[in-house]
Amino acid sequence: MKLYSGDLSPYSAKVRMQIYAKGLSDIAIELPPGFMTGEFHKTSPLARIPVLDLGDGDIIPESEVISEYLEELYPQHRLLGANARETAAIRVVSRIADIYLMNNMFMLGGQGRASTRSADIVKLLSGQVIRGIKALEHYIGTDGFAVSGRLTMADCTLVPALFLVENVIPTVGVEDPIPASPRVAAYWAAIQKNEHAAATLVELYRGLAERRELIAKMAAKEKAKAQAGA
Ligand SMILES: N[C@@H](CCC(=O)N[C@@H](CS)C(=O)NCC(=O)O)C(=O)O
């Protein structure tokens, strides 16, 4: 099997952290074919990553679906609950991270350029993120893990989500809301020391550095073009 993934993709990072935590060594992690040229829809009609290529002509898109498939396929180092109630608690935190944090942060990423930024869009999306962080404050564990005192899928989704909040929200002129929620802030400081979270964060930071370099290059090119035309 292959996981099509990208360093800076938070949804891919969630599945990568799951793969590391479960100790799965038979899933190759690769860049999606044709992602940059707009041809990836030929592999996956949704044209979003991550995608799990099952190797028999079939593929599974959507990080949540891939994660649950992997949990069913590989029972070792279970990252869901030992019973229905524990699984529900894990999935609640994972969904807060996915729907209310990651999804809004991902769309906020498109507001990075001050010259084309919409104050209304930033207000709407960052308001949802702040609301999500406040809700998380209620659910988050106080022992270094999100739920259940051990690494679970809740951590795998939260790590890339909080990475995005901390690193992207200030770039659109909004204050990082994590420090104002003490339990979330304590969790965030603690989970970064977990080996699987740390490995995933190295990749996310590498992706962010590459993205920033690309943006700087494009800006320099545009400036040079404008100067040449002046
Ligand atoms: N709900 C999807 C979201 C996946 C997603 O939006 N991935 C981004 C990268 S983090 C992507 O592929 N974006 C490409 C695009 O928007 O065209 C999931 O959970 O997998």
Scored b (16 or more CB within 10 A) or e, 199-212 reads: ebbebbeebbeeee
Q: Is 103 close to ligand 1, i.e. is its CB under 6 Å away? A: no
Distance in angstroms (rounded) separating the CA atoms of residues 167 and 153: 22
| Any ligand 1 atom below 6 A from CB of 49 | yes
**Residue 119 corresponds to which tokens in the numbers above?**
């104050």
Mutating to test ligand 1, I would choose from 37, 49, 99 the residue with most ligand atoms within 8 A of its C-beta, which is 49
A 10 A CB-CB count for 228 gives 7
Distance CA 157, CA 64 (A): 9
* Ligand 1: centre distance to CA 48 (Å): 4
Q: Which atom of ligand 1 is nearest to the CA of 32?
A: 12
Task: Output the pLDDT for position 130.
Answer: 98
Using CA positions, which residue lies closest to atom 18 of ligand 1? 62
Check if 99 has its Cβ closer than 6 Å to any atom of ligand 1. Answer: no
What's the distance, Cα to Cα, between the start and end of the chain in Å?
53
Ligand 1 center–CA 223 separation, angstroms:
30
What are the beta bridge partners of residue 61? Answer: 51
Structure tokens at 21: 């935590």
128 lines ligand 1 (CB under 6 A): no
Helix (H, G, I), strand (E, B) or coil at 223: helix
Q: Which of 3, 11, 67 to mutate to test the pocket of ligand 1 (most atoms within 8 A of CB)?
A: 11
Ligand 1 atom, smallest distance to 49 CA? 12
Element of type H or E holding 199: helix 195-229
CA of residue 112 to ligand 1 center, whole Å = 18
pLDDT at 75: 95
If the chain, 230 residues long, is cut into consecutive pieces of 10 residues, what is the mean pLDDT of each piece? Answer: 97 98 97 91 95 97 98 97 98 98 95 92 98 98 97 98 97 97 98 98 97 91 88
Q: Atom 11 of ligand 1 has which residue's CA nearest to it? A: 48
pLDDT value at position 229? 83
What is the set of domains in the chain, with CATH numbers? Answer: 2-73 (3.40.30.10), 84-213 (1.20.1050.10)
Number of other residues whose CB lies within 10 A of the CB of residue 19: 22
In this structure, the strands spanning 51-53 and 2-4 are antiparallel
Residues 55, 180: Cα–Cα separation, whole Å = 46
pLDDT at 82: 96
pLDDT at res. 73: 97
Asked if 32 contacts 51 with a C-beta cutoff of 8 angstroms, the reply is yes
Query: What is the CA(47)–ligand 1 centre distance, in A?
Result: 8
CA-closest residue to ligand 1 atom 20: 62
